[in-house]
């Protein structure tokens, strides 16, 4: 199968599996400039599926870098609120959301961490009206990736650029099930397996999860009325979509006040151009009270200081060590892929959709059952072939879920 055929298949999966696009819907798409070939194919498939309008906003790494090199110091507290308000209006009117990732992971590595932190905070605040439609699952949305040269060179630094790009595309196609005889059918089968897993967990109604491994003894209390999710989901508009292409996880909402113990990261976290390695933190009453990292510790501390909820958890996810992305042995420097290589936790904002009955609950009620609130949502990996996971009942009885990183249920 040639590259053009695979790229077209990825575009088809984005529309049919990722968005589950409904005839008559608008699509709002964001993408790096390099992803133009993929965005054009997605646009074609969207119109074939009956989209009423496809609008794409492009980002440019070099323009972003110019801001940090030449922008006035006071400008880093500014974000395009008008743009995000427009997106929020589009989502409120029923538009689907598609994001294509592929920016240079190291773009801002040499920039002032304070400027990066301020810019991220300003953007997060301005984006909240649009983000609410996504985290509350009002609309069908999805994210997938494009193999940009800068990203490929970071993942495969020891080969020529052309080879690096080809290798990254091969990895993206494999993880996204594009190499299967019928990618859409393969996704349907995969979603069924994930559905079985989350059904089991929802029936068990564990009170907490306990992770144990090298440098890790962590108990993650689960939110009251929590619900497990993963794979394909029905948005509140009734459309079934796959928010992440690829995905290997089942996940739920922790209780923001009920996390205790120590945990050590098992894979590096690539965040805004900084590689944070060897994260080790300690939780008390749900909050991180000690945090170190072998590299990137200053940036980690900046993240934890974002707001009151940044040092608490908004997600816990289970991923087997034998997942295709883990077996690839590739560090992608891209959370969409790396989080699907290992079980993980996320600092910051909780997904309301993982609370049963969230549609009719007030903000105060959501916080009361344990949903965390923050401007950030940052996943980092804590699972491996050396980590065991138990489900803990309300009475304190433990049941093995994972041993050496693999499901045993």
Nearest in space to 245 (alpha carbons), one of 333, 372, 124, 340 = 340
**CA–CA–CA angle 370, 283, 201 (5° rounding):** 50
Nearest in space to 271 (alpha carbons), one of 377, 150, 355 = 377
Q: Is residue 97 part of a domain?
A: yes
Structure token pair of residue 376: 């950030």
Nearest in space to 404 (alpha carbons), one of 208, 209, 193, 213 = 213
Q: Is residue 216 part of a domain?
A: yes
State which residues form the domain around 265: 205-226+249-407
- Which three-class secondary structure state does DSSP give residue 183? helix
User: What was the pLDDT predicted at 270?
Assistant: 85
Same domain? For 151 and 217 the reply is no
User: What was the pLDDT predicted at 79?
Assistant: 96
Give the mean model confidence (pLDDT) for residues 139-165.
96
What's the structural domain count of the chain?
2
Same domain? For 222 and 288 the reply is yes
Give the mean model confidence (pLDDT) for residues 238-266.
97
pLDDT tens per residue across span 203-218: 999 999 999 999 999 9
Q: Please, what is the average pLDDT of the chain?
A: 95
Q: Is residue 150 part of a domain?
A: yes
Same domain? For 390 and 283 the reply is yes
d(CA 281, CA 194) in angstroms, rounded, equals: 30
Same domain? For 255 and 392 the reply is yes
pLDDT tens per residue across span 99-119: 999 988 888 888 998 999 899
Q: How far is CA 156 from the centre of its chain?
A: 22
Give the mean model confidence (pLDDT) for residues 362-371.
95
pTM of the model: 0.87
Same domain? For 143 and 7 the reply is yes
Whether 81 contacts 126, CB under 8 Å: yes
């Amino acid at each position: 199968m040639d590259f053009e055929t695979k790229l077209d298949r990825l575009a088809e999966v984005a529309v049919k599996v990722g968005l589950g696009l409904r005839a008559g819907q608008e699509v709002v798409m964001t993408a790096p400039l390099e992803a133009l070939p993929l965005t054009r194919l997605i646009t074609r498939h969207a119109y074939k599926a009956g989209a009423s309008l496809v609008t794409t906003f492009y980002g440019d790494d070099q323009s972003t870098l110019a801001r940090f090199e030449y922008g006035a110091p006071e400008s880093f507290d500014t974000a395009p609120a008008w743009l995000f308000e427009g997106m929020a209006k589009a989502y409120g009117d029923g538009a689907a959301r598609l994001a294509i990732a592929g920016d240079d992971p190291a773009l801002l590595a040499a920039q002032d961490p304070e400027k990066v932190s301020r810019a991220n905070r300003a953007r997060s605040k301005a984006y909240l009206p649009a983000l609410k439609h996504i985290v509350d699952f009002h609309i069908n949305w999805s994210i997938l990736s494009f193999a940009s040269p800068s990203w490929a060179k970071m993942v495969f630094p020891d080969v020529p650029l052309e080879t690096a790009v080809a290798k990254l595309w091969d990895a993206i196609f494999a993880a996204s099930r594009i190499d299967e005889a019928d990618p859409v059918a393969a996704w349907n089968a995969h979603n069924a397996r994930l559905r079985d897993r989350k059904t089991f967990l929802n029936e068990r109604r564990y009170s907490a999860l306990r992770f144990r491994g090298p440098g890790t003894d962590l108990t993650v209390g689960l939110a009251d009325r929590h619900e497990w999710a993963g794979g394909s989901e029905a948005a509140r508009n009734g459309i079934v979509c796959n928010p992440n292409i690829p995905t290997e996880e089942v996940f739920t909402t922790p209780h923001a006040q009920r996390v205790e113990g120590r945990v050590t990261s098992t894979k590096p976290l690539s965040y805004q151009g900084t590689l944070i390695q060897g994260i080790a933190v300690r939780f008390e009453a749900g909050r991180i009270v000690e945090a170190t990292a072998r590299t990137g510790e200053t940036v980690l501390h900046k993240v934890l200081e974002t707001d009151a909820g940044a040092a608490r958890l908004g997600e816990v996810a289970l991923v087997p060590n034998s997942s295709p992305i883990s077996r690839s042995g590739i560090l992608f420097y891209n959370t969409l892929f790396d989080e699907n290589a290992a079980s993980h936790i996320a600092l910051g904002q909780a997904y309301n959709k993982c609370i049963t009955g969230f549609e009719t609950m007030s903000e105060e009620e959501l916080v009361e059952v344990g949903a965390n609130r923050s401007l950030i949502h940052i996943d980092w990996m804590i699972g491996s072939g050396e980590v065991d996971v138990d489900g803990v009942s309300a009475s304190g009885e433990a049941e093995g879920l994972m041993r050496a990183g693999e499901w045993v249920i």
